[in-house]
Amino acid sequence: MFYNFLQNYKLLFISILIGVFSFSCTDSIKLDLSHLPTQLVVNSVINPDSTIRVYLSQTQDFASPTSIHKYPNASIQLFEDGALVGYLTEQDSFYSMDYHPQINKEYALEIDAEGFETVYAKTRIPARSSISDSYYLFKYRYDDRESSDFTFCEITLNDPAQIENFYEIEVYKVNNYTWFSSRYDTSEVYNLQTNDPAVLAEGLSSYEPSVLLFSDQLLDGKAYQFSFEFSRFNATSINLEYLTDSLDLVLNLRNLSEEYYSFRKSWIKH
């Protein structure tokens, strides 16, 4: 009887495998992208704390080699509120200028590279918003997905009225530890979780981004209490906190330009 049971079980297992493989198939699709024109790609993220850097590359299909073509001898002009600041200098893999952009000013780039039409890009450095109050609380929470020590954070964000603002919140840990008499410094970002309506309205929660990205559409001009939490174990697959000599938690609230906000949303989705 036990033997028959094993035989029936084996037949059932084989039948399930046959069923799985019967419904598993692939279909190759050939894409002809040769008719698409190559375009110049300009990448630059500017802020008042750093000097100007610009990276040039070109569009390419996903089947192309991963190396990015560099464009030497390009002409890149920087403008501040319509006035020419100067030309960027070519470095090994980018173009740069020893110049710090300023808050509430508009910056534009004009790029001329051989084989391409002139490219223009512009943005405005937004004013800083302030955090007037903050606190955090360590707690234990259990749900269907995980049980862990969680850190609960709440901040009061003062949003300037009648100005369209865009925000990004990031929390990371700076971990300094000793391993076999050697010192190590690491920095790792936490995955943040929140049910705040301003974040949920962005439609990014299903992508599980490590940052919280949102606009002030639901909080314009308010002193807005914003809360979120994170698990201290989800920043890394290898937990080294038991070796820690010092552990600092850093919260960054960034005011974003509309251009960078749109870029970050697209990056998270794709």
> Domain residues of the chain, as ranges?
40-124, 130-269
Q: pLDDT band for position 270 (50/70/90)?
A: confident
Q: In angstroms, what CA-CA distances link 65 with 59, 110, 151, 183, 235? A: 12, 28, 43, 38, 31
Q: Is residue 113 scored above 60 in pLDDT?
A: yes
Angstrom distance (rounded) from CA 108 to CA 262: 17
**pTM of the predicted model, to two decimals?**
0.73
| Residues 108-136, mean pLDDT to the nearest whole number | 89
Listed ranges 18-22, 64-68, 108-112; the one with the highest mean pLDDT: 108-112
The architecture (CATH level 2) of 40-124 comes to Sandwich (2.60)
Q: What six digits make up the tokens of 128? A: 């800083």
Angstrom distance (rounded) from CA 14 to CA 19: 9
Q: Name residue 109's amino acid.
A: L
Q: pLDDT band for position 143 (50/70/90)?
A: low
Task: Write the DSSP symbol of residue 127.
Answer: P
DSSP output for 65-123 = -SPPPP-TT-EEEEEETTEEEEEPEE-SSSEEES----TT-EEEEEEE-TTS--EEEEE
The pLDDT tens digits of the residues spanning 25-42 come to 667 777 666 667 888 999
